[in-house]
Amino acid sequence: MSKDAPARDAEATRRRLLDAATGEFAAYGIAGARVDRIAAEARSNKAQIYHYFGSKDGLFDAVFDDMCRQTVDAVPIDPADLPEYAGRLHDSYVERPWVQRLATWYRLERAGSGAVVPIVVESTRAKVRAVAEAQEQGLLPTRFSAAELLGLVLHLSGFWSGNVPEYDEVAGPASAARRRQVVVESVAALLS
Amino acid sequence: MSKDAPARDAEATRRRLLDAATGEFAAYGIAGARVDRIAAEARSNKAQIYHYFGSKDGLFDAVFDDMCRQTVDAVPIDPADLPEYAGRLHDSYVERPWVQRLATWYRLERAGSGAVVPIVVESTRAKVRAVAEAQEQGLLPTRFSAAELLGLVLHLSGFWSGNVPEYDEVAGPASAARRRQVVVESVAALLS
DNA sequence: CGGTATCAACTAACTGACCAGTTGACATGG
DNA sequence: CCATGTCAACTGGTCAGTTAGTTGATACCG
């Protein structure tokens, strides 16, 4: 049993810190996150954070990279059925709402740093290639370039995650099924 | 000449503070913005900020409200030509990039406060009405509700303002004209 | 096997910088 | 001379990052 739950388990502590930090950064962003809250939430201690991750920024990088790894392959692309692909992406955003928030904080607070996450670049490149091949086979229209088409699909998938409260106020509540349908149908319309 | 440039002009000072704060909040968000930087940039000082706006949050509210007033009527909706409307919205985002950033910070950092900006709600309501009327006249498809359609158009208008750096890296540079065309054509496709 | 040396994991308390917000004195125009 | 606009200096609290020390598991030795 010693392997299952050692009283002092570095890997488990690291994991708890990462999970707590994910919630904190998703909620408050980099500038708004509090290192003390993360340590408390993880039932650990600030010094551990600096031991494992070096700095607050280093912790965010680790959180973001971790999230990317979990996300990148979670929803494999299906170039032959982009509407359904968008629907599944939408589902994944509903299921894991912090993903979109982290990505948005990243874009706002890390813009211009020039640093990119290689795993995301690589996976995006692969998806563009897949779309380009489908275009060559006549499965997809060529009115948009492969990169443009992929970008539009990804953007539309996040339609319901990126609205200001004022819009929700006016639009009123929509059922989960209807929201998904809007995403699927709008992508389908793009491909006409 | 006393009216043109009085040595002590409360209104002008207020304006400088508002403009400086707009840049600061757009760049760093609410938590990241520094009141001292705003005061320095406005060639004023902190006490003025607290005199005119009460608090940092009050200053953000004033900035956001000010931006909304300037934006809401800047691009009037044309329900008979939504693609071109989206194109003009896109143009306005290119011209005034801080608008999208402020809106995003607002969404992330003020979510759940329940407070909404009345002027935005009202203008959105009017736009939904305009779209609904155009649908009744058969000018627009009814596959999406008026609110959904408006939401999709607004969302697509911001396509090029909301991408993570990794996407730009993969997609490579696109000309300003092409970017606009993608927005216009994607909205046109929605209406087919 | 019992004692102990060693090291990684862990912790509480501290520090120094920074920052939102305040104060009270001074300037200037009417 | 007073209303109002302006400002430098101050304050109290907060927060990222550090330090010095404790705990517990394991390896090593007599």
Task: For B61-110, give the DSSP string.
Answer: HHHHHHHHHHHHTTS---GGGHHHHHHHHHHHHHH-THHHHHHHHHHHHS
Domain B73-190 CATH class label: mainly alpha
Q: Do B182 and A144 touch (CB under 8 A)?
A: yes
pLDDT grade for A113, boundaries at 50, 70 and 90:
confident
| Residues of A in Cβ contact (< 8 Å) with B189 | 189-192
Q: Do B124 and A170 touch (CB under 8 A)?
A: yes
Q: Is the pLDDT of residue B59 over 50?
A: yes
Q: Is the pLDDT of residue B85 over 50?
A: yes
Structure tokens belonging to residue B120: 């935005």
DSSP assignment, residue A191? Answer: T
Q: Is the pLDDT of residue B1 over 80?
A: no
pLDDT digits (tens, 9 = 90+) for A50-78: 999 999 999 999 999 999 999 988 999 99
Amino acid at B97: P
Tell me which CATH code domain A8-62 carries.
Answer: 1.10.10.60
The spacing between the Cα labelled CA in A17 and the C1' in C13, in angstroms, equals 21
A47 touches strand D (CB under 7 A): yes
pLDDT grade for B3, boundaries at 50, 70 and 90:
very low
Q: How far is B16 from chain A (nearest CA, A)?
A: 24
Structure tokens belonging to residue B107: 């969404």
Q: Which CATH superfamily is domain A73-192 in?
A: Tetracycline Repressor, domain 2 (1.10.357.10)
Q: Is the pLDDT of residue A1 over 50?
A: no
Q: Give the pLDDT score at B4.
A: 43
Tell me which CATH code domain B7-61 carries.
Answer: 1.10.10.60
pLDDT grade for B8, boundaries at 50, 70 and 90:
low
pLDDT digits (tens, 9 = 90+) for A33-53: 999 999 999 999 999 999 999
User: What does the pLDDT average to over A96-111?
Assistant: 94
pLDDT grade for A79, boundaries at 50, 70 and 90:
very high
User: What does the pLDDT average to over B114-139?
Assistant: 94
| Residues of B in Cβ contact (< 8 Å) with A32 | 29-32, 109
User: What does the pLDDT average to over B99-109?
Assistant: 95
The spacing between the Cα labelled CA in B36 and the C1' in C17, in angstroms, equals 15
CA gyration radius, chain A: 20
Q: Give the pLDDT score at A3.
A: 42
Q: Give the pLDDT score at A171.
A: 93
Buried b (16+ CB within 10 A) or exposed e, A20-45: bbbbbbbbbbbbbbeeeebbebbebe
CB of A51 less than 8 A from some CB of B: no
pLDDT digits (tens, 9 = 90+) for A131-160: 999 999 999 999 999 999 999 999 999 999
Q: Is the pLDDT of residue A107 over 60?
A: yes
Enumerate the domain spans of chain A.
8-62, 73-192
Closest Cα partner for A85 from A146, A145, A136, A127?
A127
pLDDT averaged over chain A? 93
CB of A177 less than 8 A from some CB of B: no
User: Could you tell me if A24 and A18 are in contact, meaning their C-beta atoms sit under 8 angstroms apart?
Assistant: no
pLDDT grade for A114, boundaries at 50, 70 and 90:
confident
Determine the Cα–Cα distance for residues B152 and B156; give it in Å rounded to an integer: 6
